[in-house]
Structure 1
């Protein structure tokens, strides 16, 4: 894929998430694509319900700043990150700051949480929430996950929620992740993986790319990319139960037949 094509994909993804960021969203309402006002069993599903289906607990959702949770994602990286007090955490594609705000109390005042996102409107939303709610150990940086605005060997844990699939250069993402992690640092990622080849018409659908479908990679491909970056102890575990959530992203295409959420972990 050429750099021009890569930029076209990034621009489309950025525009899509700009529109999401600019919407006024509360936990009681439907959110923006890929899960906007979707229905399960003919019932509108709220952001809180979507988040619970991803694996977030009611306790986690209770104290999140208003508007930070937009129901975006495909899992809960917090559940596998095993965050400790004093650690530095980096969230790839931090959006409105949802996972960053959850990580904040876990690492404490001696720790630090950095969110990186390429959409200015998301960064503004997240920064406003951090300031308004006095999250003093959280900061948000505008940038691409393929070119992280983060120093070498400065991060203990990298988390991410259904974002790496959106990158047209995943090898670069893992290379950058490896660069910024400390020795012994770890990945704790929720993302979608491809379980079987997508039909050609779905592969070429730019909107499905922004909707976390067309950009998904196979487990073998992701494993190889992570190995090339230098990671060890790589584990990618599909979650078949996630199909219930995924099937409402684009029901007309039966996307749950092609992609599934997975837990991805590795160590530098």
Structure 2
């Protein structure tokens, strides 16, 4: 298992990107449309999203469905992957709002951008960047969605500082994450993929 933060991030990016480049392969985490459905995304929403984004979906919750996202909001989907939550946010924010998907995986963003072209959403944009160095102005964002990235990023403190920096006063972060109910056994903390545990 990678022990230093940079190596860990590289391992995460490689495993995560493989869900985009080869979604039918076996991955150390669940992905796909059926998985999204099991998390509570309504069929009406899933049926409106291009398959390219659905087959690589890799979140932990339906955060974009339960978040309070008023019309005309500017919403960031941090760790957007192939774009499912970003598209939902864009639709909920309306034409006077904006949705910005940010991800560190070029492979995932290729899928997101292709789906965005198919959906012709003029208020949605995708940006490649790391979660701890957001290319956004101070106090420029109304709401942020975070669907399962904290347990995979060794720079959590910096992510929280960045979220505080880019949010407008009174802005909100809607997040979902996997948590352990008890410490892992020492034998389970070794191996190439167990940072997903």
Q: Distance in 2 between matches of 1:54 and 1:186?
A: 22
Equivalent positions of 1:1-268 (< 5 A) are 5-23=4-22, 25=23, 32-35=27-30, 47-69=32-54, 70-209=56-195, 212-213=196-197
Matched position secondary structure for 1:136: coil
Over the aligned positions, Cα root-mean-square deviation in angstroms equals 1.8
Matched position secondary structure for 2:75: strand
The structure in which a higher percent of residues are strand is: 1
Q: Which residue of 2 aligns with 1:39?
A: none
* TM, length-normalised to structure 1: 0.68
Structure 1, gaps ≥5 residues long: 37-46, 214-268
* TM, length-normalised to structure 2: 0.91
Q: Distance in 2 between matches of 1:32 and 1:67?
A: 17
Q: CA 1:71/1:97 → structure 2, altered by over 3 Å: closer, same or farther?
A: closer
- Kept in 1, the 8 Å contact 2:65–2:88? The answer is no
Q: Which residue of 2 aligns with 1:245?
A: none
Matched position secondary structure for 2:87: helix
Instruction: For residue 58 of structure 1, report the CA deviation from its aligned partner.
Output: 1.0
Structure of higher RCO (CA pairs closer than 8 Å, 6+ residues apart): 2
Matched position secondary structure for 2:177: strand
Matched position secondary structure for 1:182: strand
Instruction: For residue 48 of structure 1, report the CA deviation from its aligned partner.
Output: 3.1
Instruction: For residue 112 of structure 1, report the CA deviation from its aligned partner.
Output: 0.5
Q: Distance in 1 between matches of 2:186 and 2:4?
A: 17
For these two proteins, the number of residue pairs brought into alignment is 194
Structure 2, gaps ≥5 residues long: none
- Kept in 2, the 8 Å contact 1:104–1:138? The answer is yes
Max Rg structure: 1
Instruction: For residue 30 of structure 1, report the CA deviation from its aligned partner.
Output: 8.0
